[in-house]
Amino acid sequence: MPELPEVETIRRELVPWVVGQRFVGVDVLDLTLLGAVSAEEFSRALLDRRVESLERRGKYLIFHLGGKALVMHFRMTGALLLNPEQNERYVRAVFHLSSGARLAFVDRRRLGVAWMEGADALSLKLGPEPLDDAFTAAVLMNSLKAHHIPIKAALLDQTVVAGIGNMYADEALFAAGIHPLRMADSLSDTEAQVLFESVRRVLLTAIGSKGASVDTYIRPSGQRGNAQSCFKVAHRRGEPCPTCGTIIERVPVRSRGTCFCPRCQQC
DNA sequence: CTTGGGACCTGGCTGC
DNA sequence: TGCAGCCAGGTCCCAA
């Protein structure tokens, strides 16, 4: 699933291909990608605009177009492919750039979304970027104190910290030695500090491996990411914990599958 | 206000 | 072997 490291990888790999280019055409094959907006209205707002910069906020990818912005979210199975094969499956829209390059929004489960809006006041309701300097252990601690919910659920709350999804929440909690069902407001200062550092380290490591291709995630080039090979608990139910050898368990937390080591992460 | 749970979506897997 | 039904999870929406 595209979480922060996957979207950041997509952003970095697309920058040299899109920044400075104009959108000269768009083929919308699946109207549900645009929500209630018609293809005509979407095209009118997008076409002939030049990409000034490509930004990531949380799991959102934002094409800044000078006064306007094209915003995308890939949800579960969305991806952007550069110059895809003619017979590529699950293509929902194709964007044509002035360079002649094509950018295909592919999305097997069709949950992804794309829309246009004003660039000055993006409507995204997101908490701090976990890799920004403004995000500190104290910021995390203060936010957790206001939430009487399982810490796993708090990490998935995009207003607490932006960009963490199911995989990296599990990895960060394992790295911090914290049980996923611990209440967020019960963490000590020390535990919050350790979790803060774990979140950043897990995300940075995954970006270094160009994201995790555990399901359908694929980079714009069509290559896979390799972050899944560094996972210690995520998607590893039934396997031995790399630290202590205890079998990794999987429990639902707020109806999200949650993998953890019952020995390294005690309540 | 907060928290919890269902809907959305489709391919792959489980079990009869 | 065939197929019904469940499961995956990010976000939105609604109910308690």
The pLDDT of residue A23 is above 80? yes
Determine whether the distance from the CB of A110 to the nearest atom of strand C is below 7 Å: no
Determine whether the distance from the CB of A131 to the nearest atom of strand B is below 7 Å: no
pLDDT digits (tens, 9 = 90+) for A227-255: 999 999 999 999 999 999 999 999 999 88
Give the CA angle between residues A173, A175, A178 to the nearest 5°. 40
pLDDT at residue A216, as a whole number: 84
- Active site annotation includes A256: yes
Count, residues in chain A: 267
Of A57, A201, A250, A256, which residue is the catalytic one? A256
- Active site annotation includes A130: no
The pLDDT of residue A57 is above 70? yes
Q: What average pLDDT does the structure give for chain A? A: 94
pLDDT at residue A1, as a whole number: 84
- Residue A215: pLDDT band (50, 70, 90) is confident
Determine whether the distance from the CB of A111 to the nearest atom of strand B is below 7 Å: yes
The pLDDT of residue A121 is above 70? no
Q: What percent of chain A lies above the pLDDT cut of 70? A: 100
The pLDDT of residue A196 is above 80? yes
Determine whether the distance from the CB of A3 to the nearest atom of strand C is below 7 Å: yes
Q: Tell me the C-alpha distance between A220 and A228, whole Å.
A: 18
- Residue A99: pLDDT band (50, 70, 90) is very high
